[in-house]
């Protein structure tokens, strides 16, 4: 993210904030950031700061986003936007009143692969879409372990980390919101007090069925997206990534066709579109409402898995 911010026009990183002073100081030194602090208030008091990127653990998002909005700063927040739908609705309302941009870092919307898949669907390349399969079962990298595997109060677990990605991906690709959800989750070897694997099935208003699979425990597989329609299928492998990787194949009556896509750095696109929005040019790739809806879907998945009961999702609080 630092490189992406610095690649943007007039993009500079002025502060780093951490709850640990030693870490803040070392991080600032390593990345050549001029100022560091353990208090977000210090950074927010700096009039030169126009926007804040929040990447703390999930339970801190609400308070930090609200503080940044109150200080008149634009906000790019890591997913999930908040811990609850009520929190996300309050954040969205506060940003609107303050006249600042609130965006969520659902970076996959900015991947050339995902945008190409969306383009293929919209152009009718597969006819009427019948089903969507999202397989985001991976092996959680060593440097990302810790609270994601053992801290439910901090928002740990595969649902908060990965299901929200799949939720936003489905909404982006199909341009509609799931209405019902059934799900199961488990601890399959890495989770300690949190789920590390989950499978769910969602129904869209159009009738499209979505299968979503997320896990932290799968070291020998690849992530991907499959879109199946009346006239063809899209098979995309290795596209759930932080880098512009993967392959897309369109399969139809004529055979298998390799589909090329833009491999521009994903986070640079996130920052470019966020920055444009802060300057009154369009909207960010993922708005606060997008983040809130992804959270609602993930929350429904968790509730369905806990209760064994099909969940109906209401989006009224964030419409």
Whole domain around residue 241: which residue ranges?
A: 109-264+295-318
Closest to 212 measured CA to CA, from 181, 247, 251? 181
Residues 153, 233, single domain; the answer is: yes
Residues 170, 239, single domain; the answer is: yes
For residue 231, with 0-12 CB atoms within 10 Å meaning exposed, 13-18 middle and 19 or more buried, which class applies? exposed
Is the model's pLDDT at 122 over the cut of 80? yes
- Segment 284-288 mean pLDDT: 97
pLDDT, greater one: 159 or 11? 159
Calculate the CA 87 to chain-centre distance: 17
* Out of 43-47, 144-148, 199-203, 315-319, least confident range: 315-319
Closest to 240 measured CA to CA, from 135, 119, 132, 105? 135
Q: How many domains does the chain have?
A: 2
Q: Is the peptide bond before 157 cis (omega within 30 degrees of 0)?
A: no
Residues 151, 238, single domain; the answer is: yes
Residues 79, 113, single domain; the answer is: no
Closest to 278 measured CA to CA, from 33, 61, 69, 43? 69
| Count of beta carbons in the 10 Å neighbourhood of residue 211 | 15
Q: Say what the pLDDT of residue 144 is.
A: 84
The CATH number of whichever domain residue 167 belongs to comes to: 3.30.360.10
The CATH number of whichever domain residue 57 belongs to comes to: 3.40.50.720
Residues 67, 162, single domain; the answer is: no
Q: Say what the pLDDT of residue 245 is.
A: 94
- Segment 229-256 mean pLDDT: 96
- Segment 114-126 mean pLDDT: 98
Residues 309, 164, single domain; the answer is: yes
Residues 96, 179, single domain; the answer is: no
Residues 234, 194, single domain; the answer is: yes
Q: Say what the pLDDT of residue 76 is.
A: 98
Residues 131, 250, single domain; the answer is: yes
What pLDDT band is residue 319 in, cutting at 50, 70 and 90? low
- Segment 102-121 mean pLDDT: 98
- Segment 251-259 mean pLDDT: 98
Q: Say what the pLDDT of residue 240 is.
A: 95
132-189 pLDDT, tens per residue? Answer: 999 999 999 888 888 899 999 999 999 999 999 999 999 999 999 999 999 999 999 9
Pairing of strands 129-137, 255-259: unpaired
Residues 93, 123, single domain; the answer is: no
Is the model's pLDDT at 87 over the cut of 70? yes
Is the model's pLDDT at 223 over the cut of 90? yes
- Segment 45-55 mean pLDDT: 97
CA distances from 297 to 40, 53, 164, 171, 281 (A): 30, 24, 7, 10, 29
- Segment 293-300 mean pLDDT: 98
Average pLDDT value for the chain: 96
Residues 241, 313, single domain; the answer is: yes
Residues 258, 126, single domain; the answer is: yes
Cβ contact 248:258 at 8 Å: yes
């Amino acid at each position: 993210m630092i490189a992406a911010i610095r690649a943007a026009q007039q993009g500079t990183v002025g502060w780093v904030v951490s709850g640990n002073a030693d870490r803040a100081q070392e991080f600032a030194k390593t990345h050549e950031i001029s100022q560091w602090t353990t208090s977000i208030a210090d950074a927010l008091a700096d009039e030169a700061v126009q926007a804040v990127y929040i990447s703390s653990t999930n339970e801190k998002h609400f308070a930090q986003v609200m503080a940044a909005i109150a200080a008149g700063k634009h906000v790019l927040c890591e997913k999930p936007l908040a811990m609850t739908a009520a929190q996300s609705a309050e954040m969205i309302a506060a940003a609107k009143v303050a006249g600042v941009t609130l965006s969520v870092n659902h970076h996959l919307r900015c991947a050339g692969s995902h945008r190409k898949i969306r383009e293929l669907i919209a152009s009718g390349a597969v006819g009427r879409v019948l089903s969507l399969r999202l397989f985001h079962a991976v092996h959680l990298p060593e440097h990302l372990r810790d609270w994601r595997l053992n801290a439910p109060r901090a928002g740990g677990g595969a649902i908060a980390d990965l299901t929200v990605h799949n939720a936003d991906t489905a909404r982006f690709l199909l341009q509609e919101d799931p209405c019902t959800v059934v799900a199961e989750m488990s601890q399959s070897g890495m989770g300690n007090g949190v789920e590390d694997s989950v499978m769910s099935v969602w129904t869209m208003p159009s009738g499209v069925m979505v299968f979503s699979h997320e896990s932290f425990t799968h070291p020998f597989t690849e992530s991907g997206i499959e879109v199946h329609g009346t006239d063809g299928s899209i098979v995309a492998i290795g596209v759930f990534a932080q880098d512009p990787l993967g392959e897309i194949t369109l399969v139809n009556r004529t055979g298998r066709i390799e589909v090329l896509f833009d491999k521009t750095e994903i986070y640079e696109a996130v920052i470019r579109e966020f920055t444009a929005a802060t300057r009154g040019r369009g909207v960010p790739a993922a708005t606060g409402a997008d983040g809130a809806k992804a959270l609602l879907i993930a929350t429904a998945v968790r509730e369905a898995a806990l209760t064994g009961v099909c969940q109906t999702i209401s989006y009224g609080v964030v419409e």
